[in-house]
Structures are given as C-alpha cells and as structure tokens.
Amino acid sequence: GAVVSQHPSWVICKSGTSVKIECRSLDFQATTMFWYRQFPKQSLMLMATSNEGSKATYEQGVEKDKFLINHASLTLSTLTVTSAHPEDSSFYICSVRTGMSSTDTQYFGPGTRLTVL
Amino acid sequence: GQNIDQPTEMTATEGAIVQINCTYQTSGFNGLFWYQQHAGEAPTFLSYNVLDGLEEKGRFSSFLSRSKGYSYLLLKELQMKDSASYLCAVGDYKLSFGAGTTVTVRA
C-alpha cells in the first residue's frame, strides 16, 4: 500500500489566522489526493478532491475560498484553512488512492488535529 | 447520494466474536470497504468487497449482499487491541463513510 504523511500532526492557532497542512505521498505518485474532515465521534466527511496540476473539486457545502488546496506535484498536496475560526477545529485527514479502478484502496495519512482558539 | 447505516456502539468480551452490520443505499456502487480507526488516528484499511459473498482475512471477515444493500464485518477471537471504531464505506472513486461503530473489548 501507499505510505502517506501529514505535517503538522497538530496545530493550535488564534482565530483569524491561516493554517497550512501538508500531505505527502512518500512512495507513490498520486495524481489525485482526497481531503477529509472529521469532527469528534463523527465520520469522515469528504471536503475536496485534489488534482495535480489543476483546480481541486470541492464537495457541496465546502467553501473553496476558505479551504485552499494546492496540488503542485505528484507527491504533495496542501490544504490551507484561511481565517480560521473555532468551528474549523477538527481532525483533517488526507488520503491517496493508488489507481482509478474501484478496486484500488485509499490509504490515509495520520491526520492533523487543528484547534482554533 | 449515499445513505450508510451502522450501529453506534458494541461491546464484547476478549476472545469472543462480534458482527458489525452495515446497510447502504447508494446511487452507484462499485465496492464496499471496511476501515479500522483507533481514537485520534487515521483509518487503516481492513477489507474490500465488490462481489457477493464472504471475504476472509485472518481474524477478520467481511460479507456483502448487493441485492440487499447489506454488509457485515466479523471480528473473531477478539483482542483488547481490537477496541476501535469500524467504518463502513461505499462508492467508486470517491468514498462515502458511515458514522462508524465503536467496539469496546472487555477482559
């Protein structure tokens, strides 16, 4: 399977500031990565699909101007939470799918816990 | 869209067997995945079903009935380390996840 890393593991920031989260595919060139958000005791909610070299595809209800996604290379996607507020505090997880077939598994990064004060 | 239902919590004794059910209604189906997620960690892949029937992988087995929109994950010979949340997910290229079933294994 693919090995996926995220940085930072956790971050605390003040309300109104911006936070950048990195997702790296360490052993697989990923043309597509996925960004999820998970609130406590809830399931993973897909936020957006990150496409290398093109614009991300956002799910309904996710503000693209607030959650900026950049996928500049086949191994790195970044999610920037702009003007973060306490309600943005959550567990953000990225994933890589190793192919386009429905049989290809998604592999998840370790997650980034964001706390906005 | 996708509608995925799982029980919220289950408790079992070490060494026992637990079955976690998942029902789904989906506009398109290309496979059903089960993931394990320990508290504060990212999900890890457990199993995948695309055809009807039982897939066995050591202590874990997963079953799928596409006509019934139903799957279950069977955990055998439970160990304390199996205490975690188990997520059912369906979809094709993009996955939709159920809310997860928290399994607590007691000594």
Q: Measure in Å the smallest separation between the Cα of B107 and chain A Cα atoms.
A: 24
Chain A residues with CB-CB distance to B40 below 8 A: 91, 111, 113
Residue B42 to residue A111, Cβ atoms within 8 A: yes
Q: Measure in Å the smallest separation between the Cα of B72 and chain A Cα atoms.
A: 18
CA atoms within 13 A on the CB side of B105: 19
Q: Higher model confidence: residue A108 or residue A101?
A: A108
DSSP A93-113: EEEEES-SSTTSPEEE---EE
Q: Give the list of residues 6+ apart from residue B32 with CB closer than 8 angstroms, or none.
A: B22, B24, B48, B49, B50, B62, B64, B71, B88, B89, B90
Report pLDDT digits (tens) over B19-36. 999 999 987 777 899 999
Chain A residues with CB-CB distance to B84 below 8 A: none
Residue B33 to residue A106, Cβ atoms within 8 A: yes
CA-to-CA distance for B39 and B36, rounded, in angstroms?
10
Torsion A64-B2-A50-A40 (CA) sign? positive
Chain A residues with CB-CB distance to B5 below 8 A: none
CA-to-CA distance for A117 and A106, rounded, in angstroms?
32
Residue type at position B86: Y
Residue B2 clears pLDDT 80, i.e. is over it: no
Q: What is the mean pLDDT of chain B?
A: 92
Chain B residues with CB-CB distance to A107 below 8 A: 45
Matching residue, tokens 């930072």: A8
Residue B8 burial (CB < 10 Å; 0-12/13-18/19+)? exposed
CA-to-CA distance for B6 and B54, rounded, in angstroms?
19
**A39-53, A67-81, A98-112, B54-68 — which is least confidently predicted?**
A98-112
Report pLDDT digits (tens) over A46-87. 999 998 888 899 999 999 999 999 988 889 999 999 999 999
Chain B residues with CB-CB distance to A45 below 8 A: 97
CA-to-CA distance for A93 and A86, rounded, in angstroms?
18
* Model confidence band, residue B91 (pLDDT cutoffs 50, 70, 90): confident
| In chain A, % of residues over pLDDT 90 | 68
H helices of B1-107, where? none
B31 touches chain A (CB under 8 A): yes
Residue B64 burial (CB < 10 Å; 0-12/13-18/19+)? buried
* Model confidence band, residue A98 (pLDDT cutoffs 50, 70, 90): confident
H or E segment and range at residue A4: strand A4-7
Out of B45, B92, B99, closest to residue A107 by CB? B45
B9 touches chain A (CB under 8 A): no
pLDDT at A43: 85
What is the b/e burial string over A31-54, where b = at least 16 CB atoms within 10 angstroms of the residue's CB?
ebbbbbbbeeeebbbbbbbbebee
Q: Which two tokens stand for residue A32?
A: 């597509």
